[in-house]
Amino acid sequence: MEDILNALVVLANFVIIPSLAYGAQLALGALGVTLIYAVLRFANFAHGDLMAFGTMTVILLTWFFQAQGIGLGPLPTALLALPFGIIAAVLLAMGTDRVVYRFYRKKRSAPVTFVIASVGVMFIYNALTRIFIGTSDIRFEDGERFIIRAGEFREWTGLAEGLALRSSQVHTLVIAVVVVIALFWFLQKTRTGKAMRAYSDNEDLALLSGINPGRVVLITWVIAAALATIAGTLYGLDKSFRPFNYFMLLLPIFASAVVGGIGQPFGAIAGGFIVAFSEVSVTYAYRRFLSHIMPEEWMPDGLVQLLSTDYKFAVSFIILVLVLLVRPNGIFKGRVI
């Protein structure tokens, strides 16, 4: 019995809890991508760099607050800086739309034109972030790091394995739940949210009904940029901030959005968790887990790892391909892209 508990603790500690946190971060990012796809009808390649930009602002402000001695006690200072980071990212996204995308929207350009324009935007965001904060790896978590420490857990339970619950993981989940509930309330219950869905569903009819497309697009950018900044900050608190990694997050985020069914907010959330759980569980070395439930003489050599951790981006993509082969519209029947 104790063996099984130990094994479960190992699994929770190294697979379940990290996947939940990572999945929530991906889901927030994928929600932004999917909303942009639903309303503006293109895959935004600059989304990872928008995340990086928002997070960078949060970090700069965190440093500023820390220097001023302003903090949130046990909570990370970054949470105090988050609203300001959101404002910065929202302004950037709105400015970009005004300068870049609006022109093509008026011309009713093909989606691929928007995608290529988003590549140009990606270069610019990329440069901005690096000019301000450089390219190095930055950790900006402060406050109380752990909610449960592995050692304490062992003492309480008397188990051989410890379970560590980091604050960043709990913050991620709590904030993600609040944000997602707020978003769905907005989309389902408010007049503006319904107008957004209507515009996404049938642009011509929305125009006929007097829905202002400029306003819908603007609100979409506000939401997407806010989600990107929140996702980026939570990811940075949980792991670390490095602009290049944020660019690379584009891949699992796209995978999450497409797997769930692009243009479908529920799909983005489901997709985020599917991708995160697959990534972590496929690249986790199960040796320690197995050592609790398997007789020693049966233990295989090696780490008992399906794929090396370096392949984690490959995992998200393999899922993407599999889902598209079996169910091309994604799990929640999004648009065919």
Partner 1 sequence: MSFLIGEGMTGGYGGADILHDCTISVEKGEVAVIVGPNGAGKSTAMKAIFGMLQMREGVVRLGERDITGMTPQERVRAGMGFVPQTGNVFRTLTVQENLEMGAFIRDDDFSETMEQVFSLFPVLAEKRRQPAGELSGGQRQQVAVGRALMTKPDVLMLDEPTAGVSPIVMDDLFDKIIDVANTGIAILMVEQNARQALAIADKGYVLVQGRNRFTDTGEALLANPEVRRSFLGG
Partner 2 sequence: MRTVQTSDYRMPLLYAAMALALIMVGFFQSWTVALAIFNLCMISAIMALGVNIQWGYAGLFNVGIMGFAALGGVAAVLVSMPPVPEAWAVGWQGLALAALMLLLTIAAAIMLRRSYKGRGRNLLTAVIIIAGYFAIRYFADPATDAIEAVNPTSEGYLGGLGMPIILSWMVGGLFAAGAAYLIGRVALGLRSDYLAIATLGISEIILSILKNENWLTRGVKNVTGIPRPLPNELALQRSEWFADLAVRFDVPVTVMSSIAVRGGFAIIFIIVLVLIMILCERALNSPWGRMMRAIRDNRDSAAAMGKDITGRHLQVFVLGSAVVGIAGAMLVTLDGQFTPTTYIPLRYTFLIWVMVIVGGSGNNFGAVLGGFVIWFVWVQAEPAGLWLMQMITTTFEFGPAMRAHLVDSAAHLRMLLMGAILLTVMRFSPRGLIPEKTAAKPLR
Tell me the closest approach of the beta carbon of residue 38 to partner 1, in angstroms: 10
Question: What region, left, alpha or beta, does residue 190 occupy, with left being phi > 0 and alpha being psi -120 to 50 degrees?
Answer: beta
How many residues sit close enough to partner 2 to count as binding (CB under 8 A)? 55
Task: Name which of 204 and 310 has its Cβ closer to partner 1.
Answer: 204
Residues 253 to 312: which contact partner 2 by CB under 8 A? 254-255, 258, 302, 306, 308, 310-311
**Could you give the CA distance from residue 65 to residue 67 in angstroms, rounded to a whole number?**
5
211 binds, among partner 2, partner 1, none (CB under 5 to 8 A by kind): partner 1
Tell me the closest approach of the beta carbon of residue 195 to partner 1, in angstroms: 6
**Judged by CB under 8 A, does residue 43 bind partner 2?**
yes
**Judged by CB under 8 A, does residue 247 bind partner 2?**
yes
Task: Name which of 40 and 237 has its Cβ closer to partner 2.
Answer: 40
Partnered with residue 305 across adjacent β-strands are 285
**Could you give the CA distance from residue 105 to residue 111 in angstroms, rounded to a whole number?**
10
Residues 176 to 235: which contact partner 1 by CB under 8 A? 191, 194-195, 197-198, 200-202, 204-211
204 binds, among partner 1, partner 2, none (CB under 5 to 8 A by kind): partner 1
**Could you give the CA distance from residue 19 to residue 272 in angstroms, rounded to a whole number?**
10
Task: Name which of 58 and 211 has its Cβ closer to partner 1.
Answer: 211
Would you give the binding string for partner 1 spanning residues 236-275, x where CB under 8 A is met?
----------------------------------------
134 binds, among partner 1, partner 2, none (CB under 5 to 8 A by kind): partner 2
Task: Name which of 133 and 163 has its Cβ closer to partner 2.
Answer: 133
Specify the 3-state DSSP secondary structure of 72: strand
**Judged by CB under 8 A, does residue 208 bind partner 2?**
no
**326: buried, middle or exposed (CB in 10 Å: 19+, 13-18, 0-12)?**
exposed
Cβ neighbours of residue 25 under 8 Å, at least 6 residues apart? 172, 176, 231, 234, 235, 238, 272, 276
**Could you give the CA distance from residue 244 to residue 242 in angstroms, rounded to a whole number?**
6
Contact by Cβ (8 Å): 159, 82: no
Tell me the closest approach of the beta carbon of residue 168 to partner 2, in angstroms: 26
DSSP class per residue in 299-319:
PPSS--BSS-GGGHHHHHHHH
Residue choice 128, 165, 187, 218 for contact with partner 2 (CB under 8 A): 128
Residue choice 16, 173, 187, 251 for contact with partner 2 (CB under 8 A): 251
Quickly list H helices, the chain: 2-11, 17-40, 47-68, 77-96, 102-106, 111-133, 150-157, 167-189, 191-201, 203-208, 213-238, 243-248, 250-260, 265-283, 287-293, 312-326
Cβ neighbours of residue 102 under 8 Å, at least 6 residues apart? 214, 217
Q: For binding to partner 2 (CB under 8 A), which residues are involved? A: 37, 42-43, 45, 100, 103, 107-113, 115-117, 119-124, 126-128, 130-132, 134, 244, 247-248, 250-251, 254-255, 258, 302, 306, 308, 310-311, 313-314, 316-318, 320-321, 324-326, 328, 336-337
Q: For binding to partner 1 (CB under 8 A), which residues are involved? A: 191, 194-195, 197-198, 200-202, 204-211
